[in-house]
């Protein structure tokens, strides 16, 4: 069995998850042929990745879906075994993660076999908190803005060690 791990990550959260998966898998899980960010279309790296039997593919959440670069790669995974992972700014609701992963899945060809998936919360950039703060400054009683700030602050601790352990366990289980 050969496998590849690939991620689209703007701020480093999803990269952290991808690297944790890469570190956790060993020769007993097969031969690693690629671990890195989404390779350039048509490159030798992409060819190496596409030769793997199993692909671990991850993305940050961009307006409810995966990064367009990862979406384009997912569309090429004909007949592959695929494990999907990701990070999202909003946490605490497993159904929310499932919805996002469901959107990622839509980019896969029907011939791809999904062997597992997992997601965790990931910290957001400081500019986003500033936007919420501005909303709150204008409307101090805005419960939505208050909840957004609370979520932003909760996200700062993620991906946590527990998040990484949970996703790594799911990845290992998918290969078992």
The residues that touch ligand FMN, with contacts defined as CB under 6 A, are 9-15, 60-64, 87-90, 122, 124
Least distance to ligand FMN, CB of residue 46, Å = 20
Could you give the 3-state DSSP secondary structure of residue 89? coil
Quick one: tokens of 76?
């090429």
Closest CB to ligand FMN among 57 and 81?
57
- For ligand FMN, the nearest residue by Cβ is 122
Least distance to ligand FMN, CB of residue 103, Å = 10
Phi and psi at 28, nearest 5°, equal: -65, -20
Closest CB to ligand FMN among 2 and 151?
151
Least distance to ligand FMN, CB of residue 89, Å = 3
Instruction: Give the single-character DSSP code of 84.
Output: E
Please state, in angstroms and rounded to a whole number, the distance separating the CA atoms of residues 162 and 94.
15
Closest CB to ligand FMN among 10 and 139?
10
Closest CB to ligand FMN among 12 and 36?
12
Least distance to ligand FMN, CB of residue 133, Å = 17
Please state, in angstroms and rounded to a whole number, the distance separating the CA atoms of residues 144 and 135.
9
Given its phi and psi angles, is residue 137 left (phi above 0), alpha (psi -120 to 50 degrees) or beta?
alpha
Could you give the 3-state DSSP secondary structure of residue 104? helix
Least distance to ligand FMN, CB of residue 100, Å = 7
Closest CA to 35 of 16, 13, 60: 16
Closest CB to ligand FMN among 113 and 162?
162
């Amino acid at each position: 069995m050969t496998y590849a791990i690939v991620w689209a990550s703007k701020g480093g959260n999803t990269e952290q998850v991808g690297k944790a998966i890469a570190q956790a898998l060993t020769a007993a899980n097969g031969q690693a042929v690629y671990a890195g960010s989404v390779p350039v279309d048509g490159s030798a790296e992409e060819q190496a990745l596409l030769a793997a039997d199993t692909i671990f593919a991850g993305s940050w959440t961009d307006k409810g879906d995966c990064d367009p670069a990862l979406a384009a790669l997912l569309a090429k995974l004909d007949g592959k075994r695929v494990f999907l992972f990701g990070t999202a700014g909003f946490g605490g609701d497993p159904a929310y993660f499932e919805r996002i992963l469901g959107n990622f899945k839509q980019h896969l060809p029907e011939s791809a076999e999904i062997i597992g998936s997992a997601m965790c919360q990931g910290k957001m950039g400081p500019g986003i908190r500033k936007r919420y703060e501005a909303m709150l400054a204008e409307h101090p009683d805005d419960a939505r803005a208050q909840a957004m700030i609370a979520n932003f602050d909760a996200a700062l601790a993620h991906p946590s060690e527990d998040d990484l352990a949970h996703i790594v366990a799911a990845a290992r289980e998918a290969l078992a």
